[in-house]
Chains A and B, each alone.
Chain A
Amino acid sequence: AQKITQTQPGMFVQEKEAVTLDCTYDTSDPSYGLFWYKQPSSGEMIFLIYQGSYDQQNATEGRYSLNFQKARKSANLVISASQLGDSAMYFCAMRGRSSNTGKLIFGQGTTLQVKP
């Protein structure tokens, strides 16, 4: 069975500082993809970043980077230079090879609040 765990229900960060949101996963699939989504208070789900299990380098997208540690089964999201607009709920998700149909398994989410 596949599982995503986000152990931080809520996080605070000062504006302009970096923050790491934790995500651990469990899967028996040899191939899988890891995703992060942002859900602001307006409710939409916004794709942020993707990491494939065979990717040699950590994924980066602008101020977002994914700290992928395969042996530890962790895929932490790092947001650099936090902005007030980063305040939102963040979801880690996984898609295994057995889910080529596209099914995403989501974690419980982490609420991030950026302080001015």
Chain B
Amino acid sequence: DTAVSQTPKYLVTQMGNDKSIKCEQNLGHDTMYWYKQDSKKFLKIMFSYNNKELIINETVPNRFSPKSPDKAHLNLHINSLELGDSAVYFCASSVAGTVLDGNTIYFGEGSWLTVV
């Protein structure tokens, strides 16, 4: 059973389209994230939700809108896709807690988005 699952794994779409990536975790975690990995493999956080509430929004264009219907799901909707949005998007989750708890952040398998 996949702990953090995201769909679709691959997505090729045209500029200007709107697309969504879905994420679900079955770990019982309180906190979920979206990270973006660019073409140079650099990973950076985009959003974080704790119990369905947005707690991190890292200067992401407002074309990106996360939605958390419940604490096990965090979807990412992208409007008006641009070439520069091509990347791998990772969903992740963790238990809430202090940094010294070592609460590991578990990642999904990634969604490869290509905008043409």
Binding site for B on A (CB under 8 A): 29, 31-33, 35, 37, 39, 42-47, 50, 52-54, 89, 91, 93, 95-97, 99-104, 106, 108-109
Contacts and interface: CB of A to CB of B under 8 A. Distances in A.
B100 A52 contact: yes
B87 to A, nearest CB: 12
A37 B106 CA distance: 10
Contacts of A103: 33, 45, 48, 56, 58
Contacts of B40: 108
Nearest to A46: B107
B43 interface: yes
Interface residues of B, number: 33
B107 A45 contact: yes
B83 interface: no
Given A44-B107, A45-B92, 5 more contacts: A45-B90, A99-B99, A103-B48, A104-B105, A109-B41
B104 A104 contact: no
Contacts of B92: 45
B102 interface: yes
B50 interface: yes
